[in-house]
Amino acid sequence: MMTSAEIRKKFLDFFVSKGHTIVPSAPIVVKNDPTLKFTNAGMNQFKDYFLGNKKSPHARVADTQKCLRVSGKHNDLEEVGVDTYHHTMFEMLGNWSFGDPANPAAGYFKKEAIAWSWELLTAVYDIPEDRMYVTVFEGDEANKLPRDTEAYEEWKKWIAPKRILLGSKKDNFWEMGDTGPCGPCTEIHVDCRSDAERDAVAGATLVNNDHPQVIEIWNNVFIQFNRLKDGSLQPLPAKHVDTGMGLERLVRVMQGKHSNYDTDLFTGTIARVEAIVGKKYSAGDGIQDVAFRVLADHLRAISFTIADGQLPSNTEAGYVIRRILRRAVRYYYSYLDYKKPLLFQLVPLLAAQFKTVFPELDQQADFVAKVVREEEEAFLRTLEKGLRRMDDLMSALRGSAAKLLPGSAAFELYDTYGFPIDLTGLIARENGFTVDQPGFEAEMQKQKDRSRAATAIDTEDWMVLVDNPLVEFVGYEMLETNTQIVKYRKIKAKGKESWQLVLEATPFYAESGGQVGDTGILHSNGEMISVLDTRKEHDLIVHFTDKLPSDPEAPLIATVDRSKRKATEVHHSATHLLHAALRKVLGTHVAQKGSLVNAGELRFDFSHFAKTTEEELSAVEALVNEKIRENIPVVIRQMPKDEALKLGAMALFGEKYGDVVRVVIIDPDYSVELCGGTHVGATGELGYFKIRHEGAVAAGVRRIEAVSGPAAEAFLSEQFIQLRAVREALKNPPELSRAAETLVAENAELKKKLEKAEAKQLAQLRQQLLTQVQTVGGVAFIGEVVEVGSVDALKKLCFDLKSGLAMLPNTPLFLAVLAANIEGKAAVALLVDEQLVATRQLEAPAIIKQHVAPLIKGGGGGQKTLATAGGQDTSHLAEVIAAVRNLLAAK
């Protein structure tokens, strides 16, 4: 039996023998494509070739591509692991031909693609012919699409006609979007059922019918049309082949298994999980078996995505990773009864398994495991919190007859505390409750509607002014150029209208590699239009503006905001110097994990396992500043990627296949990086470099915030001004920090002394008041206007009378009222004996509100035995005392 590694290798070897170049898998995380967060098909990294934006350096290419699918019509995250053949992360084997009308012999089309598919499957992989079916596009009159007779004829050379099935537009016609390159495809299906089953039901009837044992393994797409906005099809001059074969399914067929999880791609992980949790996987439909499959699947998605540079987070792509990871935790927590971090323990095994295919995981295995562990621990804490909250909710409802947990409560748990709904249901059932599921769904829908409404963007069609333009970025050399609009479109978001423009030649740098997009001005016939931002869409440079020139076709002068660009370049070059310095000081394990470069500062995230010490940061700063003073010229060169790597260039994540790269060299022995950004001419332009802050952003990831150039100057001078102000405030002491410490300590001591003195004064006042006790209506009464410094002191004084009054002989009941003028405002405190409250309904807050507050023009309240009041009028304090006294006498 062939191992998965052999099967993968035979695929690649086979296409090498057919003149293909093998390219590495693109990262699973996608940059510069607003429509896509993750690579979800083998063709993603070649999109620009199909769209005609770019020309491929090789006509024939093959690879195995890491893909991730978590949503879409055929792949819902919640379904993965429930069945035996859907995955979040999978490998797509593919072979491509990029047609070139100028050199048709370099590529190939249907004839070769079909013949080679057949050869590989039958001669190399030995899959029996009588288990295979192929489908061919039947045509679609409504869409004016012809039947793919060409593919049909090619297949007839190899396979019995009864095994060639016709397929509908849904299954056998492939389109990237509503417009653009498209074409018919032909799929190869394999029937893996037993002979008895195959005799009973004809395989042909099960093709494309979601049968778990009759599965599609290979799709060959023939891109031959371009669909226009009006729906019509134009034949493409350059025809392409785009194929994809899921490795996991292929291996399952070759190894004769009924489940992808029984192949050697997954059995290692499952065995390790069995050993850790002490339970057995039995390949069945039970929830425990689902849990094993979920872990085996999700581990791959999480590990490879983190290795490609995407950390779990609460937005966008990072959030997808977090969700996958949490789903895995949920399953082992609930169904394998394992309450500790588990996934991270599996990372080394997976890394070793894929060491030769996707070495990036093995190279960062420690880092990935650390990130996963941290994330697991965080979620387990969240679960604990949720469990506590659930207990509260249920004990509040315990008395109710229905034992129904309201949907709003379940949603609150989910939405605010991150507590998964299925776990809520599980625990509710264990406690004899049910969850109002429809109520939950309704709340969820409300949230979705709200979010969607807030982000609704209405994008109109591109208005194309120039066909097949020469779009070019000229901003490396100049900051101003004559140009014109090539196409534009209107965007509506949150009731605001804005415009996106594509220019023929543009000096505007589009946000990329952490460097922010340029801003500036477009001059058109005396009109000035502000460019608010510049961003990339695939390889298009899109300018964001708030209006459109009155004549869109008029020539333009495009001018970049020079000072902002300059300050940004300073920070970009500083980032390279910093990166190199970190590797020199901390070690070569330092790898870039994220970067932000703008006019005001730079932010650099990198992998490192300990806090960077003061000494290390100083050393980094010193090294960068030394390189600045050396005034090293910044050399930028285009060269083949291999040559750049030989030079020691740090290959950053986010690089796709493509031969020529741009390399930024600041002293070949110091810093060599692949980079598309803009830079200063020589390091001396940075002037000075200063780290402002260092901290952690995630497990094993540190962040440095720093400034250079004018921003550094401004930062230092601001710090200096502050320091001078402090120094002056402290009367220029010889040792500033000591003086400040002494001052703080002295201040605390004085405060304490003052408090003591005030307390003593209050004690004296208290003694004095206790000698002035009168008896009113059989109650010991103190009523006095006093002089104290604060409302708190008055309250304390009044409260302290309690112990003295309680000790008076023969007078078990007491009442005290004190009034004071505090900084021009009236303050009153009233103390009532507990028994007095009970027997005569003399509640302090009531007295305060009804009898005291009106006299001082204010309000008040408190507890039954002690209440306070405040007011603006201090002229009736004596009357307050009299009023309370009269009230006591009357009761």
Partner RNA sequence: GGGGGAUUAGCUCAGUUGGCUAGAGCACCUGCUUUGCAAGCAGGGGGUCGUCGGUUCGACUCCGACAUCCUCCA
Binding site for RNA (CB under 7 A): 314-316, 319, 322-323, 326, 378-379, 382, 385, 412, 414-418, 444, 447-448, 450-452, 454-455, 752, 791-792, 795-796, 799-800, 825, 853, 858-863, 866-872
Is residue 99 within 8 Å of residue 238, measured between CB atoms? yes
Q: Which is nearest to 308 in space by CA: 317, 319, 295?
A: 317
Residue set of the binding site for Zn(2+): 572, 576, 675, 679
CA distance 428 to 405: 8
Closer residue to RNA in complex, CB, 525/872: 872
Closer residue to RNA in complex, CB, 385/492: 385
CA distance 48 to 41: 14
Is residue 633 within 8 Å of residue 599, measured between CB atoms? no
Is residue 28 within 8 Å of residue 308, measured between CB atoms? yes
Closer residue to RNA in complex, CB, 209/314: 314
Closer residue to RNA in complex, CB, 268/870: 870
Relative to beta strand 779-786, strand 814-822 is parallel
- Beta carbon of residue 416, minimum distance to RNA (angstroms, whole number): 4
Closer residue to RNA in complex, CB, 855/867: 867
DSSP H or E stretch at residue 425:
helix 421-430
Neighbouring C-alpha atoms within 13 Å toward the C-beta of 400 = 13
CA 601 to chain centre: 22
- Beta carbon of residue 695, minimum distance to RNA (angstroms, whole number): 9
C-alpha radius of gyration, the chain, whole number: 38
- Beta carbon of residue 423, minimum distance to RNA (angstroms, whole number): 11
DSSP H or E stretch at residue 320:
helix 316-335
- For residues 801-813, one letter each, b for 16 or more C-beta atoms within 10 angstroms of the residue's C-beta and e for the rest, the string is bbebbeeeeebeb
Closer residue to RNA in complex, CB, 214/877: 877
- Beta carbon of residue 871, minimum distance to RNA (angstroms, whole number): 5
- Beta carbon of residue 646, minimum distance to RNA (angstroms, whole number): 40
Closer residue to RNA in complex, CB, 352/696: 696
Tokens coding 524: 């058109």
Closer residue to RNA in complex, CB, 101/861: 861
First to last CA, the chain: 102
- Beta carbon of residue 826, minimum distance to RNA (angstroms, whole number): 8
CA distance 215 to 258: 11
User: Computed from CA positions of residues 659, 664, 665, 671, in that sequence, does the dihedral angle turn out positive or negative?
Assistant: negative
Closer residue to RNA in complex, CB, 418/812: 418
CA distance 487 to 463: 5
DSSP H or E stretch at residue 829:
strand 825-832
Specify the amino acid at residue 728: E
- Beta carbon of residue 315, minimum distance to RNA (angstroms, whole number): 4
- Beta carbon of residue 235, minimum distance to RNA (angstroms, whole number): 36
CA distance 344 to 326: 13
CA distance 338 to 291: 11
Tokens coding 74: 């055929």
Q: Which is nearest to 867 in space by CA: 883, 882, 852?
A: 852
- Beta carbon of residue 767, minimum distance to RNA (angstroms, whole number): 16
